[in-house]
Amino acid sequence: MRFKLLHRKILFYFLILVLPVLNLNLAFGEEQAVERMKEYLRYLASDELEGREPGKKGNFDAADFIANHFKNIGLSPLGEDYFQYFSISSGAKAGKENSVSFNVLIERPGIPVDKLKPVERKWTLGEDYYPISFSDNASFSGEIAFVGYGISASNIGYDDYEGIDVSGKAVIVLIDSAEGRPKISKFKEYSELKYKASTAKSKGAEAIIFVKDQGDSSDVFIPLELVRFFKSNNIPVIQASRTSLSKFFPRDRQLYLVEQEILKEQKPKSFVLANTTVSVKTDIEIVEAKVPNVLGMVRGKDPKFAEEYLFVGAHFDHLGWGGPNSLYRGKKPQIHNGADDNGSGTTVLLELADRIAKKPLKRSVVFFAINCEEMGLLGSSHYVRNPLIPLENTIFMLNLDMVGRMSYDKLSVIGTGSSPYFEDLVDSIAIIEELIVSKSADPFGASDHSSFYANNVPVLFFFTGLHSDYHQPSDTFEKINFEGMAKVSDFSMKILDYIGNNEAKPEYALVKMDFKDAMSGEGAGKGAWFGIVPNFEDNIFGFQISGTSAGSPAEKAGLKKDDIITKFGEKIINNLYDLTYAIREHSPGDVVEIELLRDAKLMKFKVELSRRGK
């Protein structure tokens, strides 16, 4: 076995050494490549494009720039033009039907409560309350319960819902400090508003009123933003001005005093507000937009192989002026230019298109500038569901995402396990290019190659690493290592040259993965692993999966691609977050019953959770 492995490596080194791609550096000198890429990225990461946010002018301008480049260097469109349009939700705003009012019975000496007439107090949108972004458009009328921080976590021995029935009620839930930082350290894992909303739903609450902890911004509302993967399951969710809401708390249980008791004693202080009901109606309007992917093709020069296609992909969208994915915490909005993420990958894609247009391979190569990656792989997901080239003819996908910050000649290559010869191929070319390569067999990850691998296409993903400017306004042109990007371009070119000209096409391999997926619960809760591959699109019936990890509990239980999970144990599942929080409550070894929809039929499975890789 050792001899065979050594023989295979020697063969690869020989094949790579005699490949004509060694002459590419002569034709495309590093200096010229650097100057070309500087020109591309200077525009893509400019303030003029305002962060290339999907649905906004800067994103359309970037798409036009890429399409014009494809046209100018001779790439063919896959259809009538270079664009593949699809619809997205691009924004959110408060509609006209929002309303909140309270009915309060004010006790008077000598008058029975049942004889009192309620006093109505109407709230004003934007002054007393505002909807939360992930609220559904829904209505509620009924009683109100205060449930502290809205946490129910047996592993830390804390449950705001213990001893109180909130079924059919609205719940008032504290946001962990006005600045969003928990004042009790053990609450950190449970401070997300989505967790609190998911927990409230699972306890039977039918409306949620968030209020900020005492602080300077207690009456400042969180602005509406477009939220994906999480909705409140037909219940209204609002945020209340602390000053306005405090007036409805009884004298002996004032909001500030109860809050201080929780912080001091670290014990729940939940109760139902007597003689008080609330009516809530939420109305959030979603702004729709049509946005483009951009695709151009270099036809293969050998008729025998021209109907086999290599895809080179890079997402060109970014965060605009910030949005929910931004890590910027400054008060003044700033453009997120996304020079590395992913102006760098788009720039290398343009460079590779230029090279291959001048020197076509035996196989055809499609250059795929992908939109809406930052919104959940929407562009690549749309493409694999609506391919312009039959997926069975797509034999390889190379993804370039954040390749502009190379240091010490290091490059991360992800997905080497997706085809049997990829690891040796990468090793061989790394020696020639004098690169230090960090490899991962895992073909899945939070970038667009995952959409292709989930559809049986071998993939490689190139990446030069995270940094402190990630999803910050400080990810700018001046910080890019263009000499490193030239190395990535040369390395990519040799990979494409080998796969595009070698008679044997890469064979798809199913990888048994040991990775930190979004559903694992790793680092939170009890560390149970489920092992599904998430689908990043909303589904009205539950949470749809793209597949399962090989060897995972989900695979062993019989789950399949496109299953829609509706229940996990006792938890109703509507989205990715619901499932994440449900897994968090379990331990490795727990056996959980799962309900799901498969081909519109309700099915039940039992799964034994494990630790990752077990």
- The CATH number that applies at residue 265 is 3.50.30.30
Residues 61 and 121 in one domain: no
Which residue, 253, 282, 311, sits at the end of a domain?
A: 282
Q: Quick one: pLDDT band at residue 597, thresholds 50, 70, 90? A: very high
Are 532 and 521 contacting, i.e. CB atoms less than 8 angstroms apart? Answer: no
- Residue 512 belongs to some domain of the structure: no
Residues 104 and 56 in one domain: no
pLDDT at 122: 97
End-to-end CA distance of the chain: 26
Convert the pLDDT of each residue in 473-494 to its tens digit. 999 999 999 999 999 999 999 9
pLDDT at 514: 45
Residues 455 and 319 in one domain: yes
Residues 65 and 184 in one domain: no
Highest mean pLDDT: which range of 113-127, 219-233, 287-301, 514-528: 287-301
Q: Quick one: pLDDT band at residue 527, thresholds 50, 70, 90? A: confident
Q: Which CATH number do you get for residue 553?
A: 2.30.42.10
Question: What six digits make up the tokens of 134?
Answer: 């992930």
- Residue 506 belongs to some domain of the structure: no
Residues 401 and 497 in one domain: yes
Q: Please tell me which residue, 146 or 332, carries the higher pLDDT value.
A: 146
Average pLDDT over residues 380-409: 97
How many helices (H) does the chain have, and how many strands (E)?
A: 14, 24
Which residue, 501, 523, 553, sits at the end of a domain?
A: 501
Q: Quick one: pLDDT band at residue 188, thresholds 50, 70, 90? A: confident
User: Is residue 31 predicted with pLDDT exceeding 90?
Assistant: no
Nearest to 181 by CA among 231, 215, 228: 215
Domains in the chain, number: 3
Residues 548 and 458 in one domain: no
Q: Is 310 helix (H, G, I), strand (E, B) or coil?
A: strand
Give the whole-angstrom CA distance, residue 566 versus residue 582.
Answer: 12
Q: In the Cβ-directed half-sphere of 468, how many Cα atoms lie within 13 Å?
A: 0
Which residue, 248, 267, 282, sits at the end of a domain?
A: 282
Q: Which CATH number do you get for residue 13?
A: 3.40.630.10
Are 406 and 464 contacting, i.e. CB atoms less than 8 angstroms apart? Answer: yes
Domain containing 350 equals 2-90+288-501
pLDDT at 20: 46
Residues 472 and 415 in one domain: yes
Give the whole-angstrom CA distance, residue 85 versus residue 459.
Answer: 24
Give the whole-angstrom CA distance, residue 488 versus residue 409.
Answer: 10
- Residue 299 belongs to some domain of the structure: yes
